[in-house]
Structures are given as C-alpha cells and as structure tokens.
Structure 1
Amino acid sequence: MNGGDAEVRDGLRYPWAQPPASGEVLEVADGVLWLRMPLPFRLDHINLYLLRHEAGWVVVDTGMNTAQTVAVWERVFAEVFQGQPVLAVICTHFHSDHAGVAAWLTERFHCPLYMTAAEFRSLHVQVPDEAPPAWAFVDFYRKAGFSLEQAGEFHGAIQNKHFRPLNCTGFRRLREGSELKIGDRRWQVLIGSGHSPEHACLYAAEDGLLISGDQVLPRITSTVGVQATEPEADPLRDWLDSLERLRSVPDSVLVLPAHERPFFNLHQRLAQLQVHHQGHLERMLASCDEPRTALELMAVLFPRLSGRFDELMALGETLAHANYLISEGALVREEHGELRRYRRAPAQAVAPDPQRVF
C-alpha cells in the first residue's frame, strides 16, 4: 500500500511522495484507484476514488461541471474501465467539485446516486441568478462592511456555471452508520458537518481505509464558513464536534482525502486542525477590545487575499469564528446603522442573549 517513496512531513506520513499526473490514476489499495481530476482555479485538483465492484465501478465524487472534467472521464471510461460501466455514484457532499457532473454520470450509465439527504437538498439550492441580487444577499455583505458595488461583484463571482452542479432528479440516502458493500469491502458511512451540512466519509475498518472527502485534509484546511443563506449559522461548532467524533477511527488508517495526498496519522491531523481554529479564535478575540466589523476582522485572520472569490471564502470563515465566539458568550454583536460590529463581551457575561426573531 505504498509507492516506495514514503515521506514524513509535519507529523504526517505520506506513502506516495508524488500524486498521479493530472487526469491519471494510481492504485492505492486492491480495487481502489486514486484519480487526480483537474480543477480550473488555484486549488488545481480534486482526488476522486474509483472502487472496483463485480463487473463495473463505483465512483466517489465527480469533479466540476467543465468540459475538461468530461474529457478526463471519457478517457477513464476507455482506458481504465475498458468499457465496464459505472454502477453507482457516491457524492461525499454537494459542493461543485464533488458533485458537478453527478447527474451526467448517473444519466449516462442509468445508475443510482448516493448522498446524504441534507447534501442532496443543498445540491438544489442555488443563489438566484437574477440581477440585481436579492436584498438579503446584499444586506449580508453590507452589514459585514463591504460596499454595494462589492456585494454585486461577489454575486457575479458565484454565478460561474462551474460552481453550479447539474441537477439530479433522485438519490439513495446515506445515513450515519449505514454500510455499503462494494467489491469485497464493507464501507461504513460516517457523517460530519461544518464544511457542509451532512458530509459523508466512507470507512473500511477491516482494510484500514478512510475516504475522508473534505472532512479531513492534509496540509490545507477545509473551508468552514457562514454564507448569506444562513447568516446566524454556527458551522465551526459543528466542524469541531465532527473532528472529535472522528477520533473513534483508529489512527492507523490510510486517509484518502479529496485534496493533496493520502496520508497516515489521522489523529495528529485532527489535533492540528483543532489548534488551527483555536488560533483563529484567539486572534479574533484579541482584536475585539474595540468594536470591529467583519471586514476588519477578516484582515486580521486573512491578511493576504487575491480577488473576490478569496474574499468570499475568507468572510465566511471570519463570520464562522465570530458566531462561535458569540455562542460561547465571548463576543457580542452590535448594530451600528447598516453595519454589524463585534466586540469582546463584558466580563460578567456568561451566555449570549436568546436568538432574536427580528
């Protein structure tokens, strides 16, 4: 289960020093192929996993809705599957790089799609493409400290069709603890949240394999953000709780992530992710002796950004940390005209106020 060039970095052990070339596959376990699917932006790849099953294949995640993705799949069908069909598609979660062409694959092969219920619903909830953008969308960014013009640019940034998966008409539900028998393996479904509503990981206990999707990544951290669709959400709490639950999986598993390279030492990575977010929380709290907007706090946590899409992600993460601290009673949020500002809670405060209806 290694390529002969293992590497240890930051406490994690990588069995393969190099990933397969873009669009190519590498066998990481018997009947489990790692496909490096290209993406059209700075994070230039997603790892998909192809599981051999009887006279066909089960696909875990799909890539984005782009012509390049379809071209890679056509080559995989011919050169890797050699005419054998796709028997099922499993999507770990609804994000466009994971479910972008799920509908195309299932329609082409007349096969089922497996997802959790919350992820399937989220797949069909898109930011409306009307112009100008809806009031609630603009209000979200204006309260954070952005201008009306910048809010419009954010709206434009997410209208790219690459970020809009094709619509699927039906699915088979994945639930926590349910099992899928694929080939000779039994994969248990483990559910996490925070990065997405009901993210599915696949754990093959007897073989020591964990397909982690975006729930655990090496080297980089998954986006945990608050979006305009649910401005009062507390995804960071969901995320940290999910990381803690994953400690029930043995540290010895080979983690097969959606980005970067497969690795060992799961528990070390879980601890690193927890420390990373704790550092963000501490820096934010230290910056709030005076009231700060989300835009000002974003500059504290993410001082180097390039472009509107980076700002979208960074604002979501900033608000996730702010909402967590509010729920802990450590921050208070105040309305200042059209702006929201955050400041350290008074020392006597022990709990946040109940959620206001308006």
Structure 2
Amino acid sequence: MKDIEIPDSYAGLTFPWEVPPEEGTVTEVAEGVLWARLPLPMALDHVNVFFLREENGWTMVDTGFDTKRTRAIVETLIAGPLGGGPITRVLVTHHHPDHVGLAGWLQSRGAELLTTRTSWLMARMLTLDVQERYTPETIAFCHRWGMDPDVLDKRRAERPFNFSDIVSPMPTGFTRIAEGEVITLGGRRWRVARGDGHAPEHAVLYEEGGALVLGGDQLLPGISPNLGLYPTELNGDPVGDWLAACDRLAPLARPDHLVLPGHKTPYRGLPRRMETLRTNHEAALDRLQAHLAEQPRTGGECFAPLFKRDVSGDLYGLAFFEAIAHLQHLWLTGRATREVREDGVWVFRAAHP
C-alpha cells in the first residue's frame, strides 16, 4: 500500500514510456538496461525489476516475491529477452519482500547478492523469525497505539504474515554496498546514496557520468511509500528519517536524470519530485496536527487526515502503522502531547503554540 497522494503528484514529471512491459517481456530503457515487471497479489499489483548486461550474464535489480509464478516468469525472461545468459549478480535496494524475495533462490543458482548491511540483516533475520501467532509484545504495541479492538481481536487469533512465506531462504554471505561507495554494474559506475524512512539504509544508486538512477521505493513517482512505525523499534521515527533522507538526496537530483523506480514507470523531473516527496509528508503532518487540535485522538482515529480513501480489510494494518508513525513524529518534535488512558491506550493532543 502506498499512501498520502496529492493532486499534483505527477506535476513536473515526464514519462518516456506510457505502457509498461507485459508479463515475460522487457523494455530497453537505456543501452544494456532492461525493464521488466513481476506481479504482486495486492492493490499495488507489480514490482519493477531491471537487468543490466554484464560480460558474462546479467545483474538483476530487485527480485519480486518468491512464488512459483514469479520464478517461472524469471525463467521465461532468462530464456527469452536475456538470451539465455545467467543472472550473475543481484542488487537489492532494500529489505522488503517484493524486492528481496527471490534473492536467496538466485544465490543458490550462483548469483552474488549486493545490498546494504542493514537490508541484509533485516531480510535474513525476518526470514528466520517464523511466528505462528502474533507475539505478546506486538499485541501490546498495537493496543497501546489504539488499534481498532475488533481488528486486534482478529489478530490475536490468526497466523501473521511471515517473510518466509514469500522470501526464499537466504544463505550466509553477501557483498555489502555502503553510502558514498562507487560500484560497477552493467559496465556503468554508480555512486551509492542512502535513503531511509520507508526502509532503513535503502540503497539509491546514481550513475556517474550518466543520467540513470536506480531509485527503488525511495524515489517513486506519483505515490509516496509507506512510512510505518512497528514494534521492532519502539522509539523509531520513520517520518523524521524520511525527511532527513529527502534533504540528503535532493542536492543529487538533476533534471536529466531518468529514474528507474521500484513501482510505476520510469520518469524524468527528479528535482521537482524531491520537493513533493518531502512536502507530501509535511502537509500530512500539518493536517494531522489540525485533526488533533479538534479533539484528542488515538492512533486508530487518525486515518481521515492522512488517507483519501476508505481504509478497511487488508489495507487497515499498513494504514495504522503509517498513521502512528506520523503521530510519533509530532510527539517527538513537540507538536503533540500524549497521555495514557485508563485502558492503557495513548491519547494524543495538539501541542499549544
């Protein structure tokens, strides 16, 4: 789920390709750089992957979920558009399952995995952490932040999503890439920059001497990636991390950059997009603070100012964790206060100027 859309979210952007590649096919976006799509079983129904031609095969950027269908599509791509050449390296921009799902499978076929240290540690830890029920700590966290009681009761009784459901086992060992490093992929030199907020230590790669950018989910067009606060890091500030990352990355943006994003379609107009990626969440914080000024609210009562759609069913969880991430930022920056209600739920109020 990608949230907090704004009316001019595509303003200032140009899209060289109006139609994405069909399943099992590719579009060449630059010499030796191919764009393909893999399906996702959710509202955002695809993830982009890119292939960079190497002397002895291909580097694959991000991977999709580990499913029989996805593996079959990758096999079709290898046999067809990739000319039978093997995938020798896999670059994973961040640890989310739609980007790392097939990495371990590809490693088992001989590919080298390149990613940031945090991405690898998070992905490997989560694939090994199989839970048949939500932990007491998770239930307490959701209750404290004001999750709808009916939703919480349902969670108590159901099996949670596990990374291992759609991420192949990841063997020990990877090649670390880090902020400021220059690496070579597909005969092009890329400087690694660091995103944050949507995923910790998200890799964003800028081509040196060229105009390509591997943006992952940090530089999406038209939609802003989910920024969620989760029980793994109780004092986290994903919204603050996002705003800081926007400030770091904005000076790197050039009008001629062709951004290859994790979702949607490649685009130009990155300086303008960097502005809206920041102001998107600044505006959301302002709306949320005004919402709290009307009356005290719990986390589960803060969807209205953030999401311009009905939130229910499978969308509820991501919306809840995004809403409380914005509440957390208001509280950490002194724009909101909180107190504990008799039932143990936090209630937030807008701070006085």
Do both share a fold (TM > 0.5)? yes
Unaligned runs of 5+ residues in structure 2 are 1-8
Q: 1:225 aligns with which of 228, 236, 258?
A: 228
Look up the equivalent residue of 2:53 and give its one-letter code: R
Secondary structure of 1:298's partner? Answer: coil
Matching residue of 1:322: 327
Q: Deviations over 1:67-117 (max 9, x none)?
A: 111010110111122222211111001100000010000111x12111100
Counterpart check, 1:189 vs 2:192: yes
Secondary structure of 1:34's partner? Answer: strand
Q: CA contact under 8 A between 2:10 and 2:221: conserved in structure 1?
A: no
The whole-number CA distance in structure 2 between the counterparts of 1:169 and 1:307 is 39
Matching residue of 2:93: 92
Q: What is the Cα deviation at residue 303 of structure 1?
A: 5.6
Counterpart check, 1:253 vs 2:257: yes
Secondary structure of 1:202's partner? Answer: strand
Matching residue of 2:117: 117
Q: Deviations over 1:38-86 (max 9, x none)?
A: 1121111111010001121111111101111101011011112222221
Q: Which has the higher relative contact order, 1 or 2, with Cα contacts under 8 A spaced 6 or more apart?
A: 2
Look up the equivalent residue of 2:349 and give its one-letter code: R
Matching residue of 1:356: none
Q: What is the Cα deviation at residue 158 of structure 1?
A: 2.2
Q: CA contact under 8 A between 1:288 and 1:343: conserved in structure 2?
A: yes
Counterpart check, 1:35 vs 2:36: yes
Q: CA contact under 8 A between 1:288 and 1:342: conserved in structure 2?
A: yes
- 1:218-297 map, 5 Å: 218-249=221-252, 250-289=254-293, 290-297=295-302
- 1:47-126 map, 5 Å: 47-108=48-109, 110-126=110-126
Secondary structure of 1:292's partner? Answer: coil
Shift in alpha-carbon separation, 1:156–1:103, aligned structure 2, 3 A: same
- 1:329-340 map, 5 Å: 329-337=334-342, 338-340=344-346
Matching residue of 1:350: none
Q: CA contact under 8 A between 1:14 and 1:262: conserved in structure 2?
A: yes
Secondary structure of 1:315's partner? Answer: helix
Q: What is the Cα deviation at residue 291 of structure 1?
A: 1.8
Matching residue of 2:211: 208
Look up the equivalent residue of 1:317 and give its one-letter code: E
Look up the equivalent residue of 1:318 and give its one-letter code: A
The whole-number CA distance in structure 1 between the counterparts of 2:259 and 2:283 is 25
Q: CA contact under 8 A between 1:51 and 1:59: conserved in structure 2?
A: yes
Shift in alpha-carbon separation, 1:278–1:341, aligned structure 2, 3 A: same
Q: What is the Cα deviation at residue 306 of structure 1?
A: 4.7
Q: Deviations over 1:173-213 (max 9, x none)?
A: 11011122123311111111111010001111312110100
Matching residue of 1:355: none
- 1:2-41 map, 5 Å: 9-41=10-42
The whole-number CA distance in structure 2 between the counterparts of 1:19 and 1:175 is 31
Q: Deviations over 1:125-149 (max 9, x none)?
A: 3395444421110011111223565
The whole-number CA distance in structure 2 between the counterparts of 1:124 and 1:139 is 25
Deviates more, 1:309-318 or 1:294-303: 294-303
Matching residue of 1:345: 351
Q: 2:169 aligns with which of 157, 166, 169?
A: 166
Look up the equivalent residue of 1:195 and give its one-letter code: H
Secondary structure of 2:29's partner? Answer: strand
Shift in alpha-carbon separation, 1:255–1:164, aligned structure 2, 3 A: same
Look up the equivalent residue of 1:271 and give its one-letter code: E
Percent identity reads 36
Matching residue of 1:312: 317
Question: How many matched pairs?
Answer: 339
Shift in alpha-carbon separation, 1:90–1:279, aligned structure 2, 3 A: same
Q: CA contact under 8 A between 2:148 and 2:300: conserved in structure 1?
A: no
Look up the equivalent residue of 2:88 and give its one-letter code: L
Matching residue of 2:3: none
Look up the equivalent residue of 1:254 and give its one-letter code: L
Unaligned runs of 5+ residues in structure 1 are 1-7, 348-358
TM-score (norm 2): 0.90
Q: CA contact under 8 A between 1:326 and 1:333: conserved in structure 2?
A: yes
The whole-number CA distance in structure 1 between the counterparts of 2:13 and 2:112 is 36
Look up the equivalent residue of 2:12 and give its one-letter code: G
The whole-number CA distance in structure 1 between the counterparts of 2:187 and 2:166 is 35
The whole-number CA distance in structure 1 between the counterparts of 2:271 and 2:98 is 26
The whole-number CA distance in structure 1 between the counterparts of 2:296 and 2:105 is 49
